[in-house]
């Protein structure tokens, strides 16, 4: 029975997802833990305590504990400000493991700051670690420039982690290429494992999805769903809706799901305020509905109710939402960046478009509106693809293989090291 420590400093599996700093990583850690526990592993998830009311240890599900690590103040801190608390975080994890008398077989660190904790544990206890970066600092800096508030030291930390981790998980071929080209990472130590969806959460709701959401059957519905941050390019989708109206005479209905609260409150989610302003200035406020954050059990209704799911980020380490939409049988139009390039098959499960180009996006949307049968065919093809390649069960099985490879490589290194030590010892020299 393997004992696994998942470290996810800013992204708790218990958090509400869809806000500024809670999204794909939270979902990844939660589903990976569930699948590993199903396979009989014991999983401890370490995440930073960000509310006074949180218990130190939460027995979440059979075989899974969530440890709310006291490191820094017990309130929300933007992830860009979290670095100074990571040493305290690491010390706590070490103390916890000793006091609980638990020896983990493997540490899986998520995001670069968790990698620092894994490094600390490896140095002290010799436990191997696997790294999923979820996002790379250099890619972010290239795309976001001045708006990237992470300190520059992030680049050197990531570079070192790429050398020290026993295995690295890239989420798509582009992620791997970025590590090689921007950090000089050794390709032979990187495995590509995608993200997934859970068939118990997502399936096509063929009857009643629109009724559930109060949407008319005749409307052409476009869905945008995800965290509300500028790099997700939600403004681009709003511009495309305006172009549909002006140039294609098509009155689409755009649903925008996500935010820090269940109401689309600009005070709680400033980005929603900016986007609302944009809808007004483009004269499409009646075409666009902001819903605020939605719980996971409701998402299949949104995906199923939509004629098309749209996601047009500037860059995307993986992008779980296209997979979720595909699992619900909905065609996807996404930007040809990062993981989306690998999940959406252009002209088969949807379309790939350039980022920041609302005219091209509007053309694809208008085409799908004019060809509903083709759109439906794309949706079915997407669903088949999601089930074939992207369930969390198959993703977790691939990640478990990466863990075994990491443990194996440490054992081999230990054997080589002790053999070298023996041959270098004075006794063996006398004997030799
Ligand atoms: N999400 C959610 N509720 C919302 C908005 C988003 O549960 O209101 C989830 C969404 O279903 C997906 C995740 O947040 O599972 C976003 O992951 P993705 O990889 O697309 O983007 P990231 O957050 O990693 O940038």
CB atoms near residue 358 (< 10 Å): 21
Residues in Cβ contact with 372 at an 8 Å cutoff, skipping those fewer than 6 apart: 307
What is the signed CA dihedral for 40, 70, 136, 235, rounded to 10 degrees? 100
Residue 13 CA to ligand 1 centre (angstroms) = 12
Q: Please indicate, yes or no, if residue 111 is contained in any of the structural domains.
A: yes
Q: Please indicate, yes or no, if residue 367 is contained in any of the structural domains.
A: yes
- My answer on whether 145 and 273 are in the same domain is no
Q: How far apart are CA 181 and CA 74, in angstroms?
A: 38
Q: Is 30 exposed, middle or buried (0-12, 13-18, 19+ CB in 10 A)?
A: buried
Q: Please indicate, yes or no, if residue 426 is contained in any of the structural domains.
A: no
Beta bridge partners of 292: 257
Give the pLDDT confidence score for residue 427 in this predicted structure. Answer: 54
Summarize the confidence of residues 357-382 as an average pLDDT. 98
What percentage of residues in the chain have a pLDDT greater than 70? Answer: 95
- My answer on whether 328 and 413 are in the same domain is no
- My answer on whether 179 and 281 are in the same domain is no
The region of weakest confidence among 168-172, 370-374, 407-411 is 407-411
- My answer on whether 88 and 237 are in the same domain is no
Give the pLDDT confidence score for residue 1 in this predicted structure. Answer: 86
Cα angle vertex 237, ends 244, 327, to 5°? 105
- My answer on whether 288 and 320 are in the same domain is yes
Q: How far apart are CA 17 and CA 13, in angstroms?
A: 9
DSSP states along 16-80:
-SSSSS-SHHHHHHHHHHHHHHHTT-EEEEEEE--STT--SEEEEETTEEEEEE--S-SS---GG
Q: List pLDDT tens digits, range 310-356.
A: 999 999 999 999 999 999 999 999 999 999 999 999 999 999 999 99
| Tokens describing residue 425 | 């010892």
- My answer on whether 56 and 121 are in the same domain is yes
Closest CA to 229 of 344, 106, 78, 378: 78
Q: How many domains does the chain have?
A: 2
- My answer on whether 277 and 334 are in the same domain is yes
The pTM assigned to this predicted structure is 0.95
- Ligand 1 binding pocket includes 140 (Cβ within 6 Å): no
Q: What is the CATH number of the domain that holds 382?
A: 3.40.50.2000
pLDDT above 90 for 87? yes
Q: Please indicate, yes or no, if residue 201 is contained in any of the structural domains.
A: no
Residue 144 CA to ligand 1 centre (angstroms) = 20
Q: How far apart are CA 27 and CA 15, in angstroms?
A: 9
Q: List pLDDT tens digits, range 279-289.
A: 999 999 999 99
Q: Which residue segment(s) compose the domain that 332 sits in? A: 209-389
- Ligand 1 binding pocket includes 305 (Cβ within 6 Å): no
Q: Please indicate, yes or no, if residue 204 is contained in any of the structural domains.
A: no
- My answer on whether 400 and 383 are in the same domain is no
Mutate to test the pocket of ligand 1, among 11, 13, 23 (most ligand atoms within 8 A of CB): 23
Summarize the confidence of residues 371-386 as an average pLDDT. 98
Q: Give the containing element (helix H, strand E) for 7.
A: strand 3-8
Q: List pLDDT tens digits, range 29-43.
A: 999 999 999 999 999
Q: How far apart are CA 285 and CA 71, in angstroms?
A: 43
Which atom of ligand 1 has the smallest separation from the CA of 322? 20
- My answer on whether 99 and 47 are in the same domain is yes
Q: Please indicate, yes or no, if residue 73 is contained in any of the structural domains.
A: yes
């Amino acid at each position: 029975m393997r004992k696994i420590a998942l470290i996810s400093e800013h992204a708790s599996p218990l958090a509400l997802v869809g806000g500024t700093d809670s999204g794909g990583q939270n979902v990844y850690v939660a589903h990976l833990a569930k699948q590993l526990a199903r396979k009989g592993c014991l999983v401890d998830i370490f995440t930073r305590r960000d509310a006074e009311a949180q218990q130190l240890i939460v027995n979440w599900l059979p075989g899974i504990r969530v440890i709310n690590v006291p490191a820094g103040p017990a309130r929300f801190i933007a992830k860009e400000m979290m670095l100074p608390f990571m040493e305290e975080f690491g010390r706590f994890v070490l103390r916890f493991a000793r006091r609980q008398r638990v020896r983990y077989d493997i540490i899986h660190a998520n995001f670069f700051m968790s990698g620092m904790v894994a490094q600390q544990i490896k140095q002290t206890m010799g436990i191997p670690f696997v790294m999923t970066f979820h996002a790379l600092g250099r890619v972010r800096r290239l795309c976001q420039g001045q708006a990237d508030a992470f300190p520059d030291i992030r680049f050197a930390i990531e570079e070192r982690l790429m050398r020290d981790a026993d295995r690295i998980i890239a989420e798509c071929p582009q992620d791997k290429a970025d590590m090689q080209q921007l950090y000089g990472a050794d390709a032979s130590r990187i495995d590509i494992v995608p993200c997934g969806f859970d068939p118990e959460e997502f399936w096509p709701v063929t009857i009643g999805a629109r009724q559930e959401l109060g949407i008319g059957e005749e409307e052409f519905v476009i869905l945008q769903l995800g965290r509300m941050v500028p790099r997700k390019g939600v403004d681009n989708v709003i511009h495309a809706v305006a172009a549909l109206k002006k140039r294609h005479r098509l009155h689409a209905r755009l649903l925008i799901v996500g935010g820090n609260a269940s109401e689309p409150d600009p005070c709680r989610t400033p980005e929603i305020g900016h986007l609302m302003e944009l809808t007004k200035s483009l004269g499409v406020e009646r075409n666009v509905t902001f819903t605020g954050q939605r719980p996971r059990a409701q998402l299949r209704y949104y995906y199923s109710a939509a004629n098309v799911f749209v996601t047009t980020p500037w860059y995307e380490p993986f992008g779980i939402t296209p997979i979720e939409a595909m699992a619900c049988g909905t065609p996807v139009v996404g930007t040809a960046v990062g993981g989306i390039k690998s999940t959406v098959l252009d002209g088969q499960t949807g379309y790939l478009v350039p980022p920041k180009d609302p005219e091209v996006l509007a053309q694809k949307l208008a085409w799908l509106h004019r060809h509903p049968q083709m759109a439906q065919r794309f949706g079915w093809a997407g669903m088949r693809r999601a089930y074939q390649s992207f369930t969390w069960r198959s993703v977790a099985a691939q990640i478990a293989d990466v863990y075994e490879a990491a443990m194996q490589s440490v054992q081999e290194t230990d054997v080589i090291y002790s053999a070298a030590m023996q041959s270098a010892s004075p006794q063996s020299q006398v004997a030799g």
